[in-house]
Amino acid sequence: MAKPIIGMIPPGGWHYIDGDARITGHSYDSLLKAVESYRAENNLPSGDIEGDVNSFICTNWPTFCHGVDMVAITSINAPNSTSELQNDIQMWAKNILHSNQKHVLVNDELAEERAKTCRGCSNNVNWRSGCNSCVNATDRICASIRHGRDTKSSQVLGGCSLMRHDNRTAIFFDKEHIHKSSSLPDNCWMNI
């Protein structure tokens, strides 16, 4: 297995990228401890921390490692349905945020009716897990495009597994601005 040469500090210092997070340490050993702490604090599987860090460093800077011919690139955090939904929601929200169209928001009463419909739907799933900074960033973008508005029921909503959007935000949008899927359940507010 390839291992970093401890006397040679990689460009940018001892660091490791885990998802969107850049984790640093003042030495190789402190970097391993920082990665271990990061994964524990974010409820991520610990996995093979030393192997992951070694693979990251030796893949990016092979001249800073011994035994580079044996480096294997492995996926550290394999995508799952929750992280894929979160990525889709973030992309959906960014597209709205950066579009030139004016998005009409509905009144709170209508949004509350829609929230109650979503709350009882099996396609309303939790997408807020994994990387906390990713979840917080997506929540901030969604709050921005709905102008920080919420209803009594909207705060407990997740994402729509069919439409791939944040239900908490989508309930405030005029239906004209949402491209409806053909596989929606009959009781979905987008069909009414």
Strands (DSSP E) contained in the chain are 3-4, 14-18, 21-25, 65-66, 124-125, 159-160
Share of the chain above pLDDT 90, in %: 45
- Average pLDDT along the chain: 86
Residues 6+ apart with CB under 8 A from 108: 149, 151
Is the pTM here over 0.85, yes or no?
Answer: no
Q: Are 177 and 135 in contact (CB under 8 A)?
A: no
Q: Name residue 22's beta-bridge partners.
A: 17
Q: Are 112 and 101 in contact (CB under 8 A)?
A: no
Share of the chain above pLDDT 70, in %: 93
Kindly list the distances between the CA atom of residue 184 and the CA atoms of 84, 120, 160, 179, in Å, as whole numbers in the listed order: 19, 14, 10, 12
Q: Name residue 125's beta-bridge partners.
A: 159
Residue 104 neighbours by CB distance under 10 Å:
11
Tell me the pLDDT tens digit for each residue of 128-171.
Answer: 887 888 889 999 999 999 999 999 988 889 999 999 999 999 99
Residue 51 neighbours by CB distance under 10 Å:
15
Q: What pLDDT is stored for residue 78 in this prediction?
A: 46
